[in-house]
Structure 1
Amino acid sequence: MRIAVFVILLLAVLSGCNQAAKNGVSSSPGSNPNGQIQVKQTAPQKKQITDPQAVARHLEQLADSVPQVEGANCVVFGNTAVVGINVPPDVDRAHVGTIKYSVAEALRKDPYGADAIVTADMDLAQRIKNVRDQTMNGKPISGFAQELGAIIGRIVPQMPRDTSNPPPNPKLGDPNL
C-alpha cells in the first residue's frame, strides 16, 4: 500500500514539473519561450526624405487643397517639415483652429507629412515663406539663420532690469540735479 501511495505522489510531482516547464503558456506561432507575444508593426513607417524641395512642394499642395486655405508654404529640414498656412483675415480664431486641424489631418494621411508641424500664425507663416524663398534661391543656411534670429527676437522678452540708463546729455543738463 505504501508503494502505491509513493508511486502516485511521484507521478503527481513529475506531471506538475512538466507543466511548470511550460510556464502555463501554450506554444503558439506568435509567442516565444518567455511567454511574451510578438506582434508585427502595422502602422506605416515614415518615409525618409531624400528631396526636400519636392516634398515641400507636395506638402504645400496638400495644405492648399484644404478649404479656406489661401496659401501654404513649407520648409523641410532633415526629416521634419514645417508648414505655414494663410487663412482669410475675417475668420475667427476658433475656425482658424479647425482649418489648421484639417490641414494637419490631411498631412497625417501622407507618408511625408505625418510628423509635419502646422502653424496658422500670420507672422510665422510669412517667416516660413521667407525661409522657403531663400532656400529656393540657393541660400538655405543664411535665410534660415536670419529668420530664426527674427523669431527668437520676438520670443525673447525685453526685461526692464536689462536696460541701462543712458549717459546724461551735457546740453540738456543732468536730470538728477
Structure 2
Amino acid sequence: MGTAERRGAPEESVAVRSAARRGDEAPDRDIPVRERDRESDGQQQPNHRPLWIEEPARRRRMPDPVRTAAVRAVLIISVTLIQAMVAFLCTLAGSWLAFPMVISSVASTVVATWAVVDVWVTRQVYNQRYGVVSEPSSTARSLRRERRARRRQQRAALREQERIRRRGGTGQLSHS
C-alpha cells in the first residue's frame, strides 16, 4: 500500500479520515474494537491482574517533629560520609586539601552524632507530651467503683442517722 492510498484522496477532510480510522481500532491503536467492546461488557481478559495490592501499614507514621529531625539527621550523616570519603581520597592523592577535609570530617562527625541524639530526644519529648493515653485499667476502674459504692452507703447511713436524731432520737414508729 502506497503513501497516497494510506492517506486517502486529497479532497477528504482530516475529520473524515480520523473518524474512519477510529471506527477500526481503539485510541491507542493496539487494541481492536472487538476486544474493547468485550471489556466494556463487563468481561475481563483472563490474564488481568491488579498492578499492586494495598496492604495496611505495619507501623504508624512518625510524628512531624520526629520525622523532621530524622530527615535532618540523615542529610547531615550523608554529608559527613561524603566528607570522610573526600578526605580519604585526598589523603591517598597527597593533596593539600586532605588536612582541612579531615578536620571538617571530625567536626561533621560531632554534628552528626548530635543530630542522631536530637532525633532520639525529640521522639522521647513527643511521646511524653502526646503519646501517653490516660486510660485506667479494668482493675483500677473496678476498685474505684467499689470505693464509690462504699462512700455512697456511708453517706446514706449518715443521712439516716441525722434524720433519726432530728425526730427526737427515740426511734418510735408512732406518737402514742
Q: Same fold (TM over 0.5)?
A: no
State the structure with more CA Rg: 2
* TM-score between both structures, scaled by the size of structure 2: 0.24
TM-score by length of 1: 0.24
